[in-house]
Amino acid sequence: METFTAARVVREYVRELDAPRERVFPLLCPVREYEWIEPWRCDLVYAASGVAEAGCVFRTDFPGDCGPEVWVVSRYEPPCRIEFVRVGAHCAVKMEIALEELPGSRTRSRWRHEHTGLDAAGNAWLAGRDAAAHDRDMQVLLDMLAHFLDTGRMLPLAQAAGPDGVACYGAGRNG
């Protein structure tokens, strides 16, 4: 029997936002992300409140990602922190988002993704995702969030991605 060794890749991204964390936090929700992430799609499996909460479960399946995933909200501390565990056939991801209050009604958001390959295909997918690609994807995602916070409107993916057409979280490549 062949021994499998899982690959693990940890990526972090920090971005300041011009809004208090009490405004940012509710948008980090599988239901509310329809308002600001194009083209966000999910299948909400369970949420007693109808929005993000501890134990909320939903599914995603984006082209270019590591396959369909089941997400579980594993930590829910409004308005400071939300964590997700995402598991698919080839990868598992622990995703942590921490919001720090800054002076002037600003927020520092810290995004940490801990990817683990579950098989050879997952390890190969992780090997193809370098830090620069992760940072580009996160920049697009946070540009969308910042635009929504500033205007109350969704920033179209084509505008957020720029001329190189970089995809983003929920739009082809997951951070």
Strand order in the sheet with 43-46: 8-17, 106-117, 91-102, 81-88, 69-77, 57-60, 43-46
Answer with the residue of higher pLDDT: 109 or 125.
Answer: 109
Alpha-carbon distance of 87 to 60, in angstroms, equals: 10
Distances (CA, A) of 145 to 14, 35, 107, 127: 13, 10, 12, 28
66: confidence class by pLDDT, cuts 50, 70, 90: confident
Summarize pLDDT for 116-129 with one digit per residue, the tens. Answer: 999 999 999 999 98
174: confidence class by pLDDT, cuts 50, 70, 90: very low
Domains, the chain, ranges and CATH?
8-161 (3.30.530.20)
- In this structure, the strands spanning 8-17 and 81-88 are unpaired
pLDDT at 162: 61
